[in-house]
Structure 1
Amino acid sequence: MSSFIKDPYKFTISEKDFIKVNFSNHLDWDKPIFNTIKTNIRDYLRPKQANKCCYCKRELGYDIKDVDIEHIIPKSEYSNFSFEPKNLALSCPACNTKKGEKKILNKKIVRYPTHSKNCTIVHAHYDNYNENILIHNGCVFEALSSKGSNTITVCELFRLKVVEQKAKVKISTKNKNSQLVNLIMSADQEELKNAMVELMKRIK
């Protein structure tokens, strides 16, 4: 499986006409009138990205709040690239939020680039992710290049290690409490008293 998007979304003639008439600047992106087009973009890119975030490579959810259409080059800075196919990729809301409007170009541009030499992070359409970032245990990100390092920093991918640790603690606590409940169910009166005291400590 390819680690970059080989074929960007292709707007239909009617979609291009609709965008031309109704889009004037990046603030228009959030207008409900573009919801159908955005749904088409999401549906097209999901299989192209193996339904994974272009930055952290975690599985994307199917609720509209679980997946964002990411503008690789920020649309706030380059409004004319808001509907540029090679500027669009799917990301999880967390990576999209962390990346925000941070600058990812080495220098100003006029036309959309045909390669990623000017891009400081891993570009979903041009760069091989696996040559820039190695993921350990699904949450530890190792940079294999300067682009990989900058992507980890810009999207704060180190946050996932903390998320994973919290999830493990939660599961561990749940398992311990479950074991304690089982002990209570099978305990005699003295054991039951001790178990209840221990359970109350954990609840506090």
Structure 2
Amino acid sequence: MTLLGPSSLNIPHRKVLNRKENKKLIKKYLQGEIGWSDKSLKLMKDNIRTLLRNEQEDRCIYCRRIIKIDRRNVSEDIEHYLDKSRDYYKKWAFSPLNLTLSCRPCNFVKNTKDLGDPSMRTTNNILNGVGRFKWIHPYFDDYHANIEIKKGWLYSIKQGAPNPTASAQMISNCELDKIERIERIGEEIKERQSRITDLMLKCMAKQQHARSQKLGIWLKFEQDRNWFDY
């Protein structure tokens, strides 16, 4: 089985957040002097994006599809697992264990869902085992031990998952069960090309060279015809 992205995240962006100049900016944000979209935060956020992209292997933390590098980062969002728009989670806006990257659709669907429990509203630190999270946590839970993604973008709770309740909640709330339909065209193209490839390999094994060549030409035609579609 191909694993799409890391099982859980490390925190390479901690070093960015700990820079002296950035600590000052974070303090101003937490005191309400500047907002999340303030231009003074752009460089820090760009650095965080770069490190998280590399850590997540260019994949959304939730759906695990590739996030395209777009002209103005419109395909991705710096995702706050505990939503920063809620007053009691604002203190976690720059906590390294609360920051990931998500694709825009997943972030839109997640919206302002409260993924913590009441204990997370009062604790001073985000720690594994302190409070309960409604979805699997990108730093504390093993994604691939909990959720299986099969060809065709079919999401299911893995047998023996250590956190099946949070896995089911994330699949449902994040509408991962709808991605099969969204990716249908690309999957049909890949499946068709895979069938041609399999036939060509069987012909080659039987030394049916003329038929193998025809299948190779057909495969090249399929690839060229659908080059921009998946």
For Structure 1 versus Structure 2, the TM-score category normalised by the shorter chain is 0.7 to 0.9
Alignment of 1:135 with 2:149, yes or no, is: yes
In 2: Cα distance, 1:31 partner to 1:159 partner: 35
* Paired amino acid for 2:74: K
1:83 equivalent among 74, 82, 94: 94
TM-score by length of 1: 0.76
Give, in angstroms, the shift of residue 97 of structure 1. 0.7
Alignment of 1:15 with 2:61, yes or no, is: no
In 1: Cα distance, 2:34 partner to 2:150 partner: 38
- The aligned runs of 1:36-185 (5 Å cut-off) are 36-63=43-70, 64-77=73-86, 78-109=89-120, 110=122, 111-115=124-128, 118-144=132-158, 145-167=164-186
* Paired amino acid for 1:143: I
Alignment correspondent of 1:197: none
Runs of 5+ consecutive residues of structure 2 not aligned to the other structure: 159-163, 191-230
Q: Is the 8 A contact 1:26 1:79 kept in 2?
A: no
Alignment correspondent of 2:9: 5
Give, in angstroms, the shift of residue 36 of structure 1. 1.1
Give, in angstroms, the shift of residue 17 of structure 1. 1.2
In 2: Cα distance, 1:154 partner to 1:127 partner: 18
Three-state SS of the structure 1 residue aligned to 2:11 is coil
Give, in angstroms, the shift of residue 49 of structure 1. 0.9
In 2: Cα distance, 1:3 partner to 1:34 partner: 29
In 1: Cα distance, 2:90 partner to 2:139 partner: 19
* Corresponding pairs, count: 171
Give, in angstroms, the shift of residue 8 of structure 1. 4.6
Alignment correspondent of 1:177: none
Give, in angstroms, the shift of residue 165 of structure 1. 2.0
In 1: Cα distance, 2:76 partner to 2:179 partner: 17
Q: Is the 8 A contact 1:25 1:80 kept in 2?
A: no
1:79-121 Cα offsets, whole Å, 9 max, x none, are: 1111111100011011111011111123242223211551110
* Paired amino acid for 1:70: E
Point out the more displaced range, 10-19 or 111-120.
111-120
Q: 1:153 to 1:112 in 2, by over 3 A?
A: farther
- Identical pairs, percent: 29
Q: What is the Cα-based RMSD across aligned positions, in Å?
A: 2.3
Q: Is the 8 A contact 1:70 1:88 kept in 2?
A: yes
Q: Is the 8 A contact 2:7 2:143 kept in 1?
A: yes
1:119-175 Cα offsets, whole Å, 9 max, x none, are: 110111111000111001151100231111111112111121110225557x69xxx
